[in-house]
Amino acid sequence: MEGRKIAKNQRRVVFTLADRSVVEGEVFLSLYEAHRQGPQRVGELLNGKDDFLPVKTENGTLHLNVANIIKAQTPEEEEMHDLMILGKKYNVEVHTLCEERIAGDIFVDLPQDRSRVSDYLNQPHRFVTVIVPGSVVYVARRFILSVQD
Per residue in 96-146, pLDDT tens?
998 999 999 999 999 988 889 999 999 999 999 999 999 999 999 999 999
CB 143 within 8 A of CB 98: yes
With cut-offs at 50, 70 and 90, classify the pLDDT of residue 83.
confident
Domain 79-148 is in which class? mainly beta
Residue 66: strand, helix, or coil:
helix
Domain coordinates of the chain in residue numbers? 8-70, 79-148
